[in-house]
Amino acid sequence: MAVENMTEPKPMNELRPEEKLSIAGWAQKNLFSPWYNSVLTAVGVILVVMLLKEAVPFLIDAQWPAVTTNIQILLVGQYPSEELWRVGAGVLPMPFIVGLAWGVWGSMMRTFSVTLVVSAVLTAISSLFGDSMSSGLALWFTVSPFLVLLGYAVGRRDFIGPRQVLIIWFLFLLLTLFFLRGFGEDSAMPHVPTDRWGGLLVTILIAQVGIAVVLPLGIVLALARQSNLWFFKGAAIAYIEVLRATPLLALLFLMLIVSPMFLPDVTTPDRLMLAFIAIVLNNSAYMAENIRGGLQSVSRGQVEAAQALGMRGSHVTLVIVLPQAIRATIPAIVGQFIILFKDTAVIALVGLMDLLGAAYAIILGQDAWRTADPEVFLFVAAVYWIFTYGMSSVSAGVEKRMRTGAD
């Protein structure tokens, strides 16, 4: 569900000099210093022990085959088995680009990249112990960490900057989409309709394409809302306010269930596209509000100075106001990207097979795993966590860099 990233107050006294203490001294200071702190420590430790006592037996006895035998559905959904090499090859640029970004942006992207590398390495290692994972999949997870490192090495070079990374990312994304979609029936890569795409693949693709679409759309909407042309202003306000008030779930139902009534019978709407549109509609409204905040933060003096220099109105907006506004709102923009990624999970409720939808289909549809729901949902939650945690660390890095003013 969309979770608003309402400007969270920033801690102002983060950079405190650390005092050096011995272990006993540290324990004395951090665990037992006033008497009630000892009580709190005891309560905390008991809580941890209780949690572990429940969790460890569960993790050991769990029916993990529910996940491992269905790993293909969870990762790529119903993508035809004989065409799986296309998925593997199509998403290979992604780890490389992650590495590139790491090389270019440095510390900001470090946690994100390292998290992904570690997860890939762990997956590759785990494939050694079970025979359920196909060799192609194991190969992919073995190769991808090296691609990240390769990207990192390239990204450190001078000839590549943030702008180049963004362009490469966008081009490769388009390429991946074409690769997955395929061409004619008889070609080497037959057409695979989007209703056979699924699992983690769809989650990641929707998030990436969504990010590429939502930001420009949000900028246009924010400018329209600020403009003094009554129609554009009114339309933008209506768009933003209606879509911000409506839960994404309701919007998804509207797009997938109700909107076909507005189309002629001969059309067969692409359901994944409809869901994507719903996510974009919802997130662009929030994005527009984030950017509007940035636009308002640009001082009037700048605008007046530019006008005094004889710049045209549209020029002032595009060259003077917008870059500053976007720079001021980068944390909010990254926050919105995280929300967009998490939002993709809701499409499972309208019958689409994203990561969560695949889990749902396994538990309810496959008779053998009717009671394996904790395992499957735990796996799904862990996968979401890996990606979102990485993105959150990027967001934290951006905020830190903006606070310290190094940019």
Partner 1 sequence: MPKRLILLLSSLFVLTAIVACSSNSDELQTEVDDLKSQLAAAQSGAGGDGPTQAELDSVKAELAAALASGSAGGDDATQPSGWGSRLKLVKERGKLICAATNDSPGFSFINETGDWTGYGIEMCKAYATAIFGEYENRFEMQAISWADRPTVMQAGKIDVMVLANTQNARREATWGNFTTIHHYAGMGIISRLDSAVVADDWQSLDGATLCVSAGTNYVPAAEDLKGQYGIDFEMVQLADPGPAYDEGRCDFLIAGKADLGRNKADYTDPDAHVVWDALMGKDPWGMLVGHGDDQWYDLVRFVEWAMINAEELDVTMDNVDDMVANSQNAKIRRMLGVEGEYGQEVLGLDTDFAYNVIKHIGNFDELVERFYSEDDETRIGGFYRPRANDALWNEGGLLFAPGLE
Partner 2 sequence: MTNRPSYNLLIYRGVPIWRNVVFIRLTMQALAAIFVLSIIWVLAVNLMNNAEQRGLNLSFRLLSTNAGFDVPYSLIPFDSSKSILYAFFAGVANTLRLVGIAMFTTTILGIVIGLARLSSNFVISGLGRVYVETLRNIPLITFTFFLVFGLLRGLPKTSEAWRITGIGVVSNRGIYLTSIDESSSLVLWLVIVVLGALLAYLLNRLVLKNRGEIKLFGIRLNRGFTPLVLLVLIAGVGWVAQPQAPFVFDQPELKGTNFVGGMKLTTEFFAILTALTMYIASYVAEIVRGSVQAVPKGQIEAARALGLSYWQVTTNVVLPQAARIAVLPMIGQYVNLTKGSALAIVVGYAEVFVVARTAIEKTGMALQIFVMLIIFYMIMGAFFSLVGNWYNRKVQFDGR
Applying CB under 8 A, the residues found at the interface with partner 1 are 69-70, 72-73, 76-81, 185, 193, 195-196, 198, 257-258, 260-261, 263-269, 271, 314, 349-353, 358, 360-367, 370-371
Does 236 interact with partner 2 (rule: CB under 8 A)? no
Q: Please give the Cα distance from 394 to 407 (Å, whole number).
A: 15
Q: Contacts with partner 2 in 119-178 (CB under 8 A)? A: none
What, of partner 2, partner 1, none, does residue 268 touch, CB below 5 to 8 Å by kind?
A: partner 1
Which segment (5-13, 124-132, 183-191, 321-329) binds partner 2 by CB under 8 A? 5-13
Helix, strand, coil % (nearest 5) of the chain? 75, 0, 20
User: Please, which residue, 203 or 395, has the CB nearer to partner 1?
Assistant: 203
Does 237 interact with partner 2 (rule: CB under 8 A)? no
Q: Which residue has the tokens 């790529």?
A: 76
What, of partner 1, partner 2, none, does residue 157 touch, CB below 5 to 8 Å by kind?
A: none
Q: What is the CA radius of gyration of the chain?
A: 24
Query: Interhelix angle for 162-181 vs 93-105, to 10°?
Result: 170
Query: Interhelix angle for 199-226 vs 271-297, to 10°?
Result: 40
Of 73, 144, 80, whose CA–CA distance to 355 is shortest?
73
Which segment (71-79, 99-107, 148-156, 222-230) binds partner 2 by CB under 8 A? 222-230
Shortest Å, Cβ 368 to partner 1 = 8
C-alpha torsion sign, points 95, 98, 103, 108: negative
User: Please, which residue, 170 or 253, has the CB nearer to partner 1?
Assistant: 253
Among 122, 273, 374, 404, the residue binding partner 2 under the rule CB under 8 A is 374
Q: How far is CA 345 from CA 70, 215, 279, 360, 369, in A?
A: 19, 20, 10, 12, 21
What, of partner 1, partner 2, none, does residue 384 touch, CB below 5 to 8 Å by kind?
A: partner 2
| 150, 93 Cβ separation under 8 angstroms | no
Does 250 interact with partner 2 (rule: CB under 8 A)? yes
